[in-house]
Each structure stands twice: as structure tokens, then as C-alpha cells.
Amino acid sequence: MMDELPQGRVLLVDDQRDRADELVAALAPSPFDFDVTGEVPDLEAALGSGSPWDCVLCHVGLSHVSWASVRRAMRNFDVQVPVIVLADDRDMDSMTTALGLGATDFFVKPQERAGLLIRSIERGVNHRRLQRALETSNDRLEQSNTELRHSLRILEHDQQAGRQVQMALLPAGPLRQGEYWFSHKIVPSLYLSGDFTDYFSVGEHEIVFFLADVSGHGSSSAFATVLLKNLFARKRSDFLRRGDHAVASPREMLELANSELLELEINKYATMVVGVLNFQTHQLTYSVAGHLPHPVLLDEEGVIYLEGEGPPVGLIENADYTEHATTLPERFVLALLSDGILELLGDGSLIEKEALLLSRVAGPLDSPRVLADRLGLGAVDANHLPDDVAALFITRGFN
């Protein structure tokens, strides 16, 4: 059984050398290494967390020792090493001293009880080793936490930089063409957003616009919005340089967006609304790719959802999209909203939320800012948003 006991380093404090040697001899079958001293000049070095010993045996009969001062000194640091107190006789003073020292065990005439003392030392050694393992684990955990905090700071800075880049890709501000105004609002739930919108002139009489809601959140979703921005910018350039009219066709642009997201293989899809407004004929042509809620049209007669359906882009190959056309009234607000707006409407089914959205929009025909306030976007706290929110407003008949 002795071979199975753990190795350990034990400090024996006894100012009577013969008595100390006798005890070490009695414990000779044990696997412990003993250091013997007549006194301990530095209690914290012997009993604190940096102690080289796994257990301390201390004889209560030390001469010239004030146990009261020892107890006071031990209160000033964290005692980590188990202390076993030894005595030659069983008396109340010895036991009181042992209790005052916080002893883990107390032995009278320990030479006569070597087996029990060895097992007590073994428990102390095991306890000390567990403490050291815990300290090592805590140190590693703290180091990991420090590294994690550093990585999070870097990630946060990267996200902030990415946010600035993404914001720079959005329209610089409202766009006015004839009687029409285009404006937008993006409220990301994280630094980066999976929601995106854009609008720009094409030719002499048309404005192309889109609103996209990429699945998921964070960097990968934001990257997909950059791809969509780049696609529309490229096709606009093709229109200007080569007369390629794809950018003026909502259906063709959705087909291109679908192909490019699939080719990218990032497991992202996007719901979109793409439209072309001819501000000379007041004709609106648009296509919907799985986007909810549908575009909301508010005019003098009331508020309605514009019709439209089709699969999201980036999900299935050779997806088919349908174009719709309508003539716009003389005074209206058209709102394209990402599905994050539905999360702001509380609990309920999708049908209930869509009905509530219409009721929020309904009312006097007013500016996009007032409409945004009706929808709850005016004072929304981005830090508590469950999802990104994007809004694109098109108005006619407002100064």
C-alpha cells in the first residue's frame, strides 16, 4: 500500500532535533521528502500559495514561540498549505493552539501512530496538489480570458471599421428627381448589418432602387450586401458604357443576384425588392424575391401592400421572378421595409403583425420621418434590436 501513496514534500518544524529525527524515522516507509527546521522565520513563504511544501508538521511544544503572534501573522495572508499539529501530551492548551492555527489534524505522540499520521499527510498532500492544479487552471483561464478580451477588442475594432465601410456604401443622402424623393434608414442590431438599400439614376428618366435582407447577422451577411452593391454598380456601369439595360429590369437583376450568391457558396440567401421608377411617366416596375413585408403604399385613399412573390436569391438555381407594374398616384409614400420591422411589433402571428404594420402606417399622409416614428424607428435602441431594420422611402407630392 505504501507504494501507492503520493510523493510529497513535507516541512517538519521542531526545535528538538532528536524528537524530529525520531518522528522522521518512524515515518520512514512513507514516500515523502522531509525538511526539518527548528523555526520558520517567514510564515507566508512556508504556508502561502508560493510555498514549496505540500504539508507542514508543527510541534506545539516549540520554545520561544508566541502562538498568539503566529495566529495574527497568519491572518495577513491566504494560508494554502495544510498544517498538522503535533504534541507530546494531550492537554487543553495544545488543542486550543492547534485550533487557533487552523490545523487540519492533531496528533498526540505521533511516533506511536505513524500509520495514521502518514494517511493524514497523504490527505494534506492531495489537498495541496488539488489547490495547485486549481491555481494553474485559474491562471490558464485568466490568460485565456485576457487573450479573448484582446481578440474581442480587435474584432470590435474590425467590426467598427467594417461598419464604416458599409455605411460608406449606402446612398450618401436623400435623392431628388423631379417630384420624387428617395431616402433611407438602417438600424443594425450588430455593428454590421445584413440589411442594405441603394438607389441611383439610370438614363434620363429612371431611378433604380432595391432593398435586400440577407439571412443571418454579422460579417458574412454584411459581405453579401457588398456583393449586391457591387452587382448593381457593375450593371449600372454596363448601362452607361455599353448600353446594357439589365440594370433597368428588376427581373434580370434578381436573376443575376441569385446566380452570384449561389456561385459564391457562402450559404447565404437574401430576400429583395428591386424596382425601377420612371419619374416622367410615373410608372413603377418592380419584382419581389421572397421579401416580407411587401412594399407598403400610403396615399390619399389609404394604405395597401403591393403584390409580388418569388423565391429569395441565393437559394435555388434558375429561379423565376415576375415583374409587376403600376402607375403611381400624385401624392404618396412608398415604404420598403426589412422583416426586422415585424420584430418591433411584439408577439403574434405573421398575419397579425402584417395587419398591425398597416394600421401603424395608416393615417395622415406625411413625411418619411413622421412615418418612421409611427413605425417605432425614431427612438429605437439598436443595442436591444432582435434583428436589423432597414427602410427605404419613396415619396411624391412633398416639398
The full set of domains in the chain, from first to last, is: 2-138 (3.40.50.2300), 170-396 (3.60.40.10)
Give the contacts of 33 (CB within 8 A, at least 6 positions apart): 7, 8, 9, 10
User: 161-206, pLDDT tens digit by residue?
Assistant: 666 676 777 888 899 998 999 999 887 666 667 788 999 999 899 9
Q: Which tops the pLDDT comparison, 28 or 188?
A: 28
* Residues 119-163 pLDDT 10s: 999 999 998 988 888 888 888 999 989 888 888 788 777 667 666
Q: What is the mean pLDDT of residues 373-397?
A: 76
Say how far residue 73 (Cα) sits from the centre of its chain. Answer: 45
Return the pLDDT at 13.
Answer: 93
The single-letter DSSP state of residue 313 is: B
Predicted pLDDT of residue 185: 87
DSSP for 89-115, written as a single string: S--HHHHHHHHHTT-SEEEESGGGGHH
Higher pLDDT, 31 or 291: 291
Distance (Å, whole) CA 116 – CA 109: 12
Instruction: Answer whether residue 210 shows pLDDT above 60.
Output: yes
Amino acid code (one letter) for 395: T
Task: Return the pLDDT at 162.
Answer: 63
- The residue among 366, 344, 362 whose CA lies nearest residue 353 is 344
Peptide bond just before 386 cis, omega within 30 deg: no
pLDDT of 118 over the 80 cut: yes
Beta bridge partners of 211: 197, 273
pLDDT at 339 over 90: no
Q: Is 79 helix (H, G, I), strand (E, B) or coil?
A: coil
pLDDT at 226 over 80: yes
Q: Cα dist. 394→113, 275, 297, 334 in Å?
A: 93, 11, 9, 5
Residues paired with 395 in a beta bridge: 181, 333
Per-residue pLDDT at 278 exceeds 80: yes
Residues 10-37, mean pLDDT to the nearest whole number: 91
Of 206-210, 229-233, 243-247, 381-385, the one with minimum mean pLDDT is 381-385
Asked if the model's pLDDT at residue 6 lies above 70, the reply is: no
Give the chain's mean pLDDT: 87
pLDDT of residue 5: 44
